Amino acid sequence: MRPGHSHTSPRPQRTLGYTIIEVMIASTLGLMVLAAGYSFLFFTLRAMSGISAQSVMNQKGANALEFIESRARLATYMATSSSGNTLTLGFDDDPTRDTDGDAKTYDDRDHYEQFKFIGTSSTNVLACATNNLIYIPNTNSTYQRVLISGGVRNLPGFKVFSTTNSVITVVRFGIADPKTSDHYQAIDLQGSAVSLNRLWNTNVITIAP
Amino acid sequence: MRLGSQFSVRWEKAVTGSGKTAGGFTIVETVLAMSLTVLLCISTLGAILEMQFSSKRVADYTSAMAVAEAKVQDIRAVYYNPPNWPFTLSTVYVTNQNSISLNQAGTTFQIPGTVISKIDYQGSLGHLVTVTATFNPSRGRPVTATLQTVVNSYSGGQQ
């Protein structure tokens, strides 16, 4: 478009300004530029949203698994529910006192902690949108902390918690982002939580496959 | 190149009619500007796609690291009673198969891999355990996570 065109051309006064064709072409081009800009921005923001969601998921999942393993390491008791959705750990609060009267001061169960998978047991992303993983620091208290809010799911064919020989708990879960607008974001974690404070008669276990 | 000042000069020429040449940009200038814009857009999109790929790759690394850590914990849970297996005087290798990266439908793992545990006798120090989890995605380099630990009679769980 050349705005100065009307000053240099010898057109009659009544023809000054832009023709309807010029205006339409200019509008169309302007709209195309705007649409391209919008698409670029939309795609960029959506991709950035997905990247952020994936990063948060990685951090949350790794942190939750690490936390479960660190608590299990100090536990004197370990058990899972039949559904495999709850892991209960027992702790000795005072290693100098023998509260259970078995002549050992270090293997008591003075308080219990729980990790709970709450929601629908499924591997489907949408079905698991509201599933949480929570931590209860003391089962005698109602206080609980949400470790992962939303998107926690089972891995195919596995329970979230499965305990072997009261010593080792295999933890398997995934996190998936139910928001479909920013593509598919997910992570799956498979870990082992081992009690190093276990009884002598449970020492001999095999290396899990 | 100062596009702004060139544009204002051309605009002024066009409006006042003082220039001898016609106003507007030449085809070379236009093509150059468009090429630069397209190049900028493509590189930005490429960078974003690469970032997306990288964040997914971090997820795979996190999964691989969890698998390696699980194996380390498994070995630490074994009763340390050398020279009984697996804590023998010669190096022991334990190989396991595993897979990570569950698909969107939640039915299958997409990246298969191998976990190799090396248990190496280190004299009075005990045994050095090296666990290497290697997963082979269809795109990009293999995802490898290696963790080491020492197991001896002072390790936990040896009551």
Burial of B125 (0-12, 13-18, 19+ CB in 10 A): exposed
Say which residues have a Cβ less than 8 Å from residue B5's Cβ, sequence separation at least 6: none
What is the model's pLDDT at position A199? 60
Q: What is the ipTM of this complex?
A: 0.79
Q: Which among B15, B49, B73, B108 is the top mutation candidate for probing chain A, defined by the most A β-carbons within 10 Å of its own β-carbon?
A: B73
Does pLDDT of B109 surpass 70? yes
User: CA-CA distance, A117 to A8, in Å (whole number)?
Assistant: 78
Residue numbers in B near A153 (CB within 8 A): 106
User: CA-CA distance, A178 to A11, in Å (whole number)?
Assistant: 64
Mean predicted confidence (pLDDT) in A37-50: 90
The pair of three-digit structure tokens given for residue A115, joined into one six-digit string: 């990790």
* Closest chain A C-alpha to B106 CA, distance in angstroms: 5
Does pLDDT of A10 surpass 70? no
Domain ranges across chain A: 20-202
Cβ contact (<8 Å) for B62 and A73? no
What is the model's pLDDT at position A29? 94
Mean predicted confidence (pLDDT) in A123-137: 94
What is the model's pLDDT at position A120? 93
Phi, psi dihedrals of residue A34, rounded to the nearest 5°? -65, -45
Residue numbers in A near B76 (CB within 8 A): 194, 196
Predicted TM-score of the model (pTM): 0.81
Does pLDDT of B2 surpass 50? no
User: CA-CA distance, A113 to A72, in Å (whole number)?
Assistant: 10
User: CA-CA distance, B93 to A139, in Å (whole number)?
Assistant: 42
Does pLDDT of A194 surpass 90? no
HSE toward the beta carbon, residue A128, CA cutoff 13 A: 24
Cβ contact (<8 Å) for A206 and B78? yes
Least Cα distance to A4 among B8, B4, B13 occurs for B13
What is the model's pLDDT at position B1? 43
Residues A136-171: tens digit of each pLDDT: 999 999 999 999 999 999 999 999 999 887 788 999
Residues A82-102: tens digit of each pLDDT: 999 999 999 999 989 999 998
Residues B20-60: tens digit of each pLDDT: 556 788 999 999 999 999 999 899 989 988 998 999 999 99
Locate all alpha helices (DSSP H) within A74-188, ordered by sequence.
none
Could you tell me if A62 and A189 are in contact, meaning their C-beta atoms sit under 8 angstroms apart?
yes
